Amino acid sequence: MRSLGADVVEVRLPKHLEALDAFIIPGGESTTIGRLAVLYGLVEPMRDAIGAGLPVLGTCAGMIILASGTLEGDQPQLGALDVVVRRNAFGRQVDSYEAPIEVAGWSEPMVGVFIRAPWIAKAGDDVEVLASVEDADTGESHPVFVRQGTVLATAFHPELTQDTRVHEMLLSMAAAAKED
């Protein structure tokens, strides 16, 4: 984000959300992120900020946190994205991989870095699917990049590549939200 000219603030407490133009919920361990969000009182302030139109990007575990549900387990989620996700859908850490992702409206594919990644098992009508991948075992297609209003989510890690288009989308959404 800094390389794109954005000022970056780490959000650790609710007060850190107050002056943001957009925010990112990163990859990592979604259960831990959820527990820490509860512990530090961030769940409701994040829901409120997103509900008020603050653009957000969730990557991998961030997608799980933004989702309305998971197929397995129970953990804190924001319900900001009308999707149900399957955690670790691509397998264990050793099953991590990179693959070209065809994104709707983009002339060139991007590299998707999938690390114990989720996929979307079910998406609501207001969710725009920007990219999907095929399950190697079943041949079924599963969304891995979606948008719903000012919420973006990827099952992969765009920050681990040199391709900045996903982050540029977030900054563009932030600029548009400021104009409103």
Q: Which domain holds residue 34?
A: 2-179
Q: Could you tell me the CATH number of the domain that includes residue 54?
A: 3.40.50.880
For 9-63, the pLDDT digits (tens) are 999 999 999 989 999 999 988 989 999 999 999 999 999 999 999 999 999 999 9
Indicate which residues carry an active-site annotation: 60, 157, 159
Question: How many other CB atoms sit within 10 Å of the CB of residue 176?
Answer: 12
Length of the chain: 180
Q: How many domains does the chain have?
A: 1
The answer to whether the CB of 59 falls within 8 A of the CB of 25 is yes
The closest of 90, 86, 138 to 114, measured between CA atoms, is 90
Average pLDDT over residues 128-144: 90
Q: Which amino acid is it at 75?
A: Q
Give the whole-angstrom CA distance, residue 137 versus residue 153.
24
The verdict on pTM exceeding 0.75 is yes
